[in-house]
């Protein structure tokens, strides 16, 4: 069974509703009118439970999500123009599920501290007005709660972060101060990666925004790289010597374990995810939670029946555009991965790149920041890689490498990733 947060999009002639996952562009399926709860209308947000029947998603239950005005408030009033782009350290309202205490819960609106952006999801620290846990022990209080935008005393929910969809993040409350940031880090340190801790602490560093801006302004005078064929070619040509050196350092040296990604990927099973895929992901410096391998083995085999060993070698520019749009076989597999706890955009994209290294680009937070976080990662790469001039240049770069089994997507990805790492080192970010 999988759980999705969705929007009801229309009613058909039979009285049944169509639905789409929050954030998706197109409707995904149909919900029987008998399952839709009273009070739900077109535009309502619902939580649905689904099963995969021979590759077809079947809705088995539907619950109405609470609307924004139904929750009690911990926050002071904030005018609409104070809504910001989502960043670590911000406090927002969000719909948060607590399946450990109530598997049937449809979610509760509560304040959260944004900690780590995972593309379609956020890792957050929940806040509550309850000062003690169920066993009577005290929760960590938020000092100076007015300073961070709260109207009353609040407490940190627990010692683990919660994963929520980006679409469930609602109204802006305020911004964490140094005391709140350190309280979150101290309490949840064992559940946070080094990068997550560093990102959260960056919000309280002096002039962090200005320093981040300057880090993207170095490297041949280029502030950022436009993810188009012209933008990538301009970057690669303007920094040719450095790019070639970076690629040799990455694939030919002993410093980066990512040089083994292609080796593990090549030996993986095309009919399902296996240990080689896990090893490939881990070689890219990603920690894999203990429950992920078992969950991957339990994925329905129907998700892989549309793929053949030949698909592993098909380059992205030979796909049709529909292959990379919602509802395609690639998207179905991606959605199944994203439904697994502790798998976000980074791990999902690297697992898919292990299976389809020439077809699907890796999503990486650093690279995404450099190229402006395009709205559609796959389709933007697809449009860029259709350029013969860009592919010819990438082939020349690959021809100088000690190994030739690297996809052109990986050549471009590593060149961009190494550029960001150098900029971060030079400015100690």
User: HEC profile for 213-267?
Assistant: HHHCCCCCCCCCCCCCHHHHHHHHHHCHHHHHHHHHHHHHCCCCHHHHHHHHHHC
Would you give the distance in Å from CA 225 to the centre of its chain?
21
CA 206/CA 198 separation, integer angstroms: 14
**Residue 41 CA: distances (Å) to CA of 9, 65, 68, 170, 172:** 9, 12, 16, 20, 26
Report the top-level CATH class of 69-205.
mainly beta
- State the CB neighbour count (10 A cutoff) for residue 312: 17
- Cβ atoms of residues 238 and 218 within 8 Å: no
C-alpha angle with apex 171: 212 to 128, nearest 5 degrees?
A: 100
What is the pTM (predicted TM-score) of this model? 0.54
Tens-level pLDDT at each residue, the chain (429 residues): 677 778 888 877 677 888 877 656 566 678 888 888 877 777 778 888 877 655 567 888 888 875 443 344 455 444 333 334 788 899 988 888 654 444 454 457 889 999 988 777 889 999 999 999 988 999 999 988 888 888 889 999 999 998 888 878 877 888 898 889 989 988 998 888 776 777 787 766 543 333 333 333 344 444 688 899 999 999 999 999 999 999 999 999 888 999 999 999 999 998 899 999 999 999 998 888 888 999 999 999 889 998 998 999 999 999 999 999 988 999 999 999 998 988 888 899 999 999 999 999 998 888 888 887 787 899 999 999 999 999 999 999 999 998 888 999 999 999 999 998 888 777 534
H-helix or E-strand spanning residue 356? none
Into which CATH architecture does domain 2-64 fall? Beta Barrel (2.40)
How far, in Å, CA of 266 to CA of 287, rounded? 21
- The Cα-based distances of 180 to 5, 142, 149, 209, 268 in angstroms read 30, 6, 12, 19, 44
Nearest-angstrom CA–CA distance, 422 and 238 = 16
Residues of the chain with CATH 2.30.30.110: 69-205
Residue ranges, comma separated, of all CATH 2.40.50.140 domains in the chain are 2-64
Residue 164 φ then ψ, to 5°: -130, 160
Which residues are CB-neighbours of 358 under 8 A, at least 6 positions away? Answer: 312, 313, 314, 315, 316, 407, 408, 409
User: Are 250 and 418 within 8 A, CB to CB?
Assistant: yes
Distance of alpha carbon 96 from alpha carbon 158, whole angstroms:
14
219: nearest Cα among 429, 8, 4, 425:
425
Query: What is d(CA 317, CA 368) in angstroms, rounded to the nearest whole number?
Result: 20
């Amino acid at each position: 069974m999988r759980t999705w947060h969705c929007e009801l999009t229309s009613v058909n002639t039979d009285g049944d509703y169509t639905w789409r996952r929050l954030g998706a562009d197109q409707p995904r399926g149909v919900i029987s009118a008998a399952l839709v709860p009273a009070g739900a209308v077109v535009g309502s947000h619902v939580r649905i439970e689904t099963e995969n029947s021979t590759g077809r998603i079947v809705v088995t239950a539907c619950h109405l999500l609470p609307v924004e005005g139904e929750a009690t408030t911990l926050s002071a009033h904030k005018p609409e123009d104070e809504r910001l782009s989502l960043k670590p350290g911000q406090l927002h309202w969000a719909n948060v599920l607590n399946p450990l205490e109530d598997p049937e819960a449809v979610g509760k609106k509560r304040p959260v501290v944004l900690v780590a952006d995972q593309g379609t999801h956020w890792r957050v620290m929940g806040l509550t007005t309850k000062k003690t846990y169920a066993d009577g022990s005290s929760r960590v209080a938020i000092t100076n709660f007015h300073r961070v935008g709260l109207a009353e005393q609040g407490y940190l929910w627990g010692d683990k972060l919660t994963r929520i969809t980006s679409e469930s993040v609602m109204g802006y409350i305020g911004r964490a101060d140094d005391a709140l940031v350190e309280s979150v880090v101290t309490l949840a340190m064992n559940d946070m990666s080094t990068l997550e801790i560093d990102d959260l602490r960056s919000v309280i560093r002096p002039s962090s925004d200005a320093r981040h801006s300057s880090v993207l302004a170095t490297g041949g005078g280029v502030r950022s790289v436009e993810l188009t064929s012209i933008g990538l070619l301009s970057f690669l040509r303007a920094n040719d010597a450095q790019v070639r050196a970076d690629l040799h350092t990455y694939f030919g040296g002993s410093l980066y374990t990512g040089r083994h990604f292609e080796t593990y990927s090549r030996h993986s099973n095309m009919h399902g995810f296996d240990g080689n895929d896990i090893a490939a992901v881990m070689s890219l410096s990603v920690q894999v939670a203990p429950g992920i391998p078992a969950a991957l083995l339990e994925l329905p085999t129907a998700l892989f029946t549309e793929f053949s060993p030949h698909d592993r070698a098909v380059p992205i520019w030979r796909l049709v555009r529909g292959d990379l749009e919602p509802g395609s076989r690639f998207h179905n597999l991606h959605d199944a991965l994203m439904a697994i706890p502790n798998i976000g955009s980074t791990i999902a994209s690297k697992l898919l790149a292990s299976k389809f290294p020439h077809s699907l680009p890796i999503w990486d937070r650093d690279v995404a920041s450099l190229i402006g976080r395009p709205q559609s990662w796959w389709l933007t790469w697809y449009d860029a890689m259709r350029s013969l001039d860009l592919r010819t240049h990438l082939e020349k770069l690959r021809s100088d490498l000690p190994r030739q089994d690297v996809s052109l997507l990986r050549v471009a990805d590593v060149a961009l990733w190494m550029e960001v790492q150098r900029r971060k080192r030079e400015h100690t970010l």
